[in-house]
Amino acid sequence: MSEFATVLRSWRDRVTPAEVGLPAGSGRRAAGLRREELAALAGVSVDYIVRLEQGRAENPSPQMLRALALALRLTEDERDHLYRVAGVAAPSPGVVPQHITPGVQRLVDRLGDVPLAVFSATHDILLWNPLWAALTGDPSSRVGLERNLVWRHFTSGHDGVEYSAEHEEEFASDLVADLRAAVGRYPRDASLAQLVARLRAGSPDFERRWAQARVAEHRSSRKTMTRTAVGPITVDCDVLTVPGGDLRIVVYTVAPGSPDEARLDLLRVAGLQALTTTP
């Protein structure tokens, strides 16, 4: 059996259903994940997982390896080993980090009572909890550049989100300044360079702000989410940076005792139910 197949099976066996939010069920022969559970978490077929573990599937893509690393809660060292034994170069230190560490994953799992998502340094959404999806729309329905906050803001606007004039200007300015700071930290990241080039070509507003050469990090804002299942909800947005990984944990909170708090409480029931029953 290949090293790839060996570590994949070993790491699947050590992850319990409870760690990934799944019921343990009955009749389990082992404490770890079943193949069908790993397949669902990674977004692939059960047959593909079987072929990987039997050494019959070759050349998994970097996207597939990243999905497996996330589903298996791998550390960065383990992720890099998975890439290498699959014959794929491990992510370079010069590329924007996108690896979700087990600690960040546990944080998202535990803070289910607030809308929370994890973004890369270039504002690609990487992970979110169900309440975030209920409040903002399900990110899993978006692909490619549509998962990048800066791209969507400057090319599609912010339909469903309202800001005061002050916060709208500050938010747009901070996004551009934050992206420029990322370019300075990751000058060899080709995807980042391409994102900036497409934004400059496609959005006069972005190009105008880019020419100002401002460098900063977006930290906070206030906005009203207008398209929730329970009506508009005004939230305060705070951005926390993960040390060493350059990930951004974005948390939405509401004022205690406010109508927004009552609507968010209702959304935990009504909005999440609608989300889970939508085909």
Within this chain, do residues 45 and 180 fall inside the same structural domain, yes or no? no
**Residue 117 has what DSSP assignment?**
E
Supply the CATH number for residue 148's domain: 3.30.450.180
Determine the Cα–Cα distance for residues 248 and 118; give it in Å rounded to an integer: 6
Residue 254's pLDDT band (cuts 50, 70, 90) = very high
Within this chain, do residues 247 and 175 fall inside the same structural domain, yes or no? yes
Q: How high is the pLDDT of residue 216?
A: 85
Would residue 91 count as lying in a domain? Answer: no
Residue 23's pLDDT band (cuts 50, 70, 90) = confident
Among 64-73, 151-160, 183-192, 266-275, the least confident range: 266-275
- Number of domains making up the chain: 2
Within this chain, do residues 70 and 108 fall inside the same structural domain, yes or no? no
Is the Cβ–Cβ distance between 253 and 274 less than 8 Å? no
Would residue 242 count as lying in a domain? Answer: yes
Is the Cβ–Cβ distance between 18 and 78 less than 8 Å? no
Range of the domain at 258: 102-277
- β strands within the chain, DSSP E: 116-119, 125-128, 161-162, 220-225, 233-241, 248-253
Within this chain, do residues 217 and 112 fall inside the same structural domain, yes or no? yes
Q: How high is the pLDDT of residue 279?
A: 43
Q: Check pLDDT > 60 for residue 154.
A: yes
Within this chain, do residues 136 and 271 fall inside the same structural domain, yes or no? yes
Is the Cβ–Cβ distance between 83 and 65 less than 8 Å? yes
Kindly report the number of other CB atoms within 10 A of residue 223's CB atom: 20
Would residue 95 count as lying in a domain? Answer: no
Kindly state the percentage of the chain with pLDDT values over 90: 54
* pLDDT, mean of residues 105-120: 90
Within this chain, do residues 114 and 67 fall inside the same structural domain, yes or no? no
Q: How high is the pLDDT of residue 102?
A: 86
* pLDDT, mean of residues 75-96: 88
Q: For 170-204, what is each residue's pLDDT tens digit?
A: 899 999 999 999 999 999 899 999 999 999 999 99
Element containing residue 102 per DSSP (H, E)? helix 102-110
Within this chain, do residues 80 and 128 fall inside the same structural domain, yes or no? no
Within this chain, do residues 119 and 80 fall inside the same structural domain, yes or no? no
Q: How high is the pLDDT of residue 278?
A: 47
Supply the CATH number for residue 59's domain: 1.10.260.40
Q: How high is the pLDDT of residue 21?
A: 74
Is the Cβ–Cβ distance between 176 and 224 less than 8 Å? no
Would residue 117 count as lying in a domain? Answer: yes
